[in-house]
Amino acid sequence: MEIWINPACSKCRSAISLLDAEGADYTVRRYLEDVPTVDEIRDVLDRLGLEPWDITRTQEAAAKELGVKEWARDASARERWIEALAEHPKLIQRPIITAQDGTAVVARTDEAVRDALSREG
């Protein structure tokens, strides 16, 4: 399992604490430094079963500068959103945990972290 985190994020630190408390085997990806590629973002979206606008932090300064709130949220605009996430990783919702069963969760609550742990088999 891998967890994408921003160390400055309290929800990320909380998720890590819970993973540690549960003795989980995981790797940390500091996605602001080790920025996901467009393909990796596509893969995570597939695993999450979400669209890029579902994991975009629209309140971030970069989101406001780009005007993402006005962007279309349909198949024709999907690549534009994914490219924006790759270029501005701060826009990616966090933390995201990818589980060994091929799924992923946006782990902003203890329940979501436990859900990811339950998928480890």
Residue 2, sorted as left (phi over 0), alpha (psi -120 to 50) or beta, turns out to be beta
Whole-angstrom distance, CA of residue 72 vs CA of residue 99: 30
9 annotated active-site = yes
Q: H or E segment at 117?
A: helix 110-118
The token pair that represents 104 in the structure block: 């992923």
CA end-to-end span of the chain, whole Å? 11
Catalytic residue among 1, 9, 32, 50, which? 9
Question: Which residues carry out catalysis?
Answer: 9
